[in-house]
Amino acid sequence: MWAVSIDLFRASIGGHPGTIPWRHLSAHMAETSDDRDERRLPASERKLRQAREDGQVPRSREVSHAAALLASLVCLAFYGPQFAERTLALIRGSLRFDRVVTREPERALSFAGAAAVEALWATLPLVIVPIAAATLATLAVGGLVFTLKPVTPDLSRIDPMSGLGRMFSMNSAVDVGKLAVIALAVGGVGAWYAVGGLAQFAAYAGMPLTAALASAGADLRSGLIGISAVVIAVALADGPLQIFRHHQKMMMTPQEAKQEYKEAEGDPQMKGRIRERQRAMSRGRMLQAVATADVVVTNPTHFAVALKYEDGAMAAPRVVAKGADLLAAKIRELAQEAGVPLLESPPLARALYKHVEVDGEIPAALYSAVAQVLAWVYQLNQHAAGRGRPPVEPGIVVPDGLDPLGGER
């Protein structure tokens, strides 16, 4: 069954039964190396923030282990004598009991339960203090992060090629070397204390209980100091190393920086398309307003400006549409279809086009000129209704400085 599973695994990653796809593994490792070489730009605040939200922060197990060992030493230094007294009292109390306890199971269970609770309370500081120290050390390296992302199922994590690539990566080699150094150093210190203390360990059997506990505590403290020295030395190197590796991992390729800029600032091409769509929608609304205008002032071919005035509803006449060249021709066409009169006045058309935006009120300097236009429209409507003679187009004069061409027709 195992052979079948191995063959299926090999086949799933592109190999053949009985072979290992070293070519694919080498290619995957080469891609990983190339990707690392391209990451030469520092991580942006946005990427660091996103990584933190995903739980990707620097962590060092060695720093946590060193903090736990140091906390244990400090706890033993201050709490050790009290712990020894409580342990001694617990042992003495456990060995001294009434014969009735042996005959009544309920009392025996109660006696054992009380001893267990006392043992728990006695050892609780020795457990809580190292755990708290390890937690604080972890937070000191990477900070406090609440996220379920690291434990969320992710199929990409079980990709065989990615797993093999991680196994043979430089980071894995560093981790293996670090663990080997720790194991050899801690094992060496432990062996040295064990060999050198064999006689002392044997002497415990002939010592009074109080003296044996005190001597064992002193030996334990000495052994912990030796082991802690090794672990602390490794932690002092591993903490900065993990921070450096995290920063290296967070570095960005030029393509990633470019893509992030697009996502943060918006794709210029997409923004251009959005602006063009907005302009098209604005033009559509403007052209629809031509049919509601009172008059369209023309250049006659280059400019067209549609004016509207509602007495009592508007403080001054407004420009509801304007355009140049092709857009001006479209405005004239729509005005003719809607029966809106056209008035040819090049200076006024140019002045209105230059100085008034769509939906904007005309400036006070053009009140007189526009009043003549509206008076002409009124007379035109009266004539169309059969009242009065056909009006004569007014000779409109635009104030100096408002006509871009200085009054040329």
For 119-151, the DSSP string reads HHHHHHHHHHHHHHHHHHHHHHHH-----SGGG
pLDDT at 28: 46
Amino acid present at 98? D
Other Cβ atoms closer than 10 A to 189? 19
pLDDT at 300: 79
pLDDT at 296: 92
364 near 400, Cβ under 8 Å? no
pLDDT at 333: 92
pTM, whole model, 2 decimals? 0.46
Report the percentage of the chain scoring pLDDT > 90: 7
Enter the tokens of residue 114. 């009380």
Per-residue pLDDT tens, the chain, 409 aa: give them: 333 333 433 444 344 444 444 444 444 444 445 555 577 777 777 777 777 777 777 878 888 888 888 888 888 788 877 887 888 788 777 777 666 666 777 766 776 778 788 888 888 888 899 899 888 888 877 777 766 665 566 555 555 555 555 555 666 777 788 788 878 877 887 787 777 767 777 777 777 767 777 777 777 777 777 777 888 888 888 888 888 887 888 788 888 777 777 766 666 676 778 788 888 888 888 889 888 899 999 987 889 999 999 888 888 899 999 999 899 999 999 999 989 999 898 888 888 998 889 889 989 888 888 888 898 888 888 888 778 777 777 888 888 777 777 655 5
Half-sphere exposure of 186 (CA within 13 A, CB side): 17
Domains and CATH numbers, the chain: 58-148+158-249 (no CATH), 271-384 (3.40.1690.10)
d(CA 143, CA 47): 16
Other Cβ atoms closer than 10 A to 1? 5
In order of 285, 340, 341, the CA distances from 385 in angstroms are 30, 15, 14
pLDDT at 304: 92
Task: Give the per-residue SS3 of 151-181.
Answer: HCCCHHHHCHHHHHHHHCCHHHHHHHHHHHH
pLDDT at 306: 92
